[in-house]
Amino acid sequence: EMFAWTMPDDAPSEAFGSSGGLSHSETVFEEMVSIQKEILQGLGLHCRILEMSTTDLGASATRKQDIEAFFPGRRERDDGWGEVTSASICTDYQSRRLATRLKSNRFGGKLEFPHTVNGTAMAVPRVLAAILENGWIEEDGCLPRPTLHRRDLFAHGAEAGRTHSAPASPRAVKVLVVSWTAAAA
């Protein structure tokens, strides 16, 4: 799971490092979607991104993107595509319900509700199903491990049966998780 609090959209852009005319929430949202795409592409899955219409959004979300992977076994249903992850911008809906506030300089130090951004990162059972369906070799009855992931796993000093401390970098954690998932399959 991924979660972030962001400055409200009407806050000055220099307050949270927003760039390119995007709101703070949109900047974090795009980063979350980018991380999700990187994980799924690293696993060798064929994916597509769907921008959900406002009629398909729940009460909390103002924007949502689903990432679907191709499942060969689902060709008869949904043309083979199934959701494996999503990301949403929820503005201040969740922070109001949680009574989460931040103190900003915009209104003389007045407390205000931050916006929230959520991302699934990876629905593990669905992703494992997609890996199995896409990589299964019927004749051999096996699933080969992608070379890229084995190399990444051993590049971080991991060996079977050993416990390792968590890397300091969030990106290193992501690579380790992606590699572990591929190695476990």
pLDDT value, residue 37: 92
Q: DSSP strand E in the chain: where?
A: 2-6, 47-51, 63-70, 81-89, 102-103, 111-112, 115-119
CA 166: distance to chain centroid?
Answer: 19
Tell me the average pLDDT across 170-177. Answer: 38
- Residue tagged 């076994």 (tokens): 73
* Tally of structural domains, the chain: 1
Examine residue 149 and state whether it is found in any structural domain, yes or no: no
Tell me if 27 sits within 8 A of 18, measured CB to CB. yes
For residue range 1-38, what is the model confidence (pLDDT) as tens digits? Answer: 888 888 886 655 444 444 556 788 889 999 999 999 99
The pLDDT tens digits for 50-107 are 998 888 888 888 889 999 999 988 888 878 899 999 999 888 888 888 888 888 777 6
* Domain membership flag for residue 28: yes
Whether residue 46 is contained in a domain is answered as yes
Q: Is 165 a domain residue?
A: no
pTM reported for the whole predicted model? 0.69
In a domain? residue 56: yes
Residue 163 in any domain: the answer is: no
User: Looking at the predicted structure, is the pLDDT value of residue 181 above 50?
Assistant: no
- Domain assignment present for 166: no
Q: Mean pLDDT over all residues of the chain?
A: 74
40 is in which domain, residue-wise?
A: 2-9+23-136
pLDDT digits (tens, 9 = 90+) for 121-138: 888 899 989 988 888 777
Quote the pLDDT of residue 147.
52
**In this structure, is residue 17 part of a structural domain?**
no
- Nearest CA among 6, 35, 37, 40 for reference residue 23: 6
Considering just the CA atoms, what is the radius of gyration of the chain in Å? 20
CATH code of the domain containing 116: 3.30.930.10
CA quadruple 32, 34, 37, 43: dihedral sign: negative
136, 143 in Cβ contact below 8 A? yes
| Residue 54 phi, psi (nearest 5) | -60, -25
Report whether 167 contacts 32 (CB < 8 A): no
Q: Please report, as a single letter, which amino acid is at residue 90.
A: C
Cβ neighbour number for residue 130 with a 10 Å cutoff? 26
- Provide CB contacts within 8 A for 32, sequence distance 6+: 2, 4, 87, 117, 119
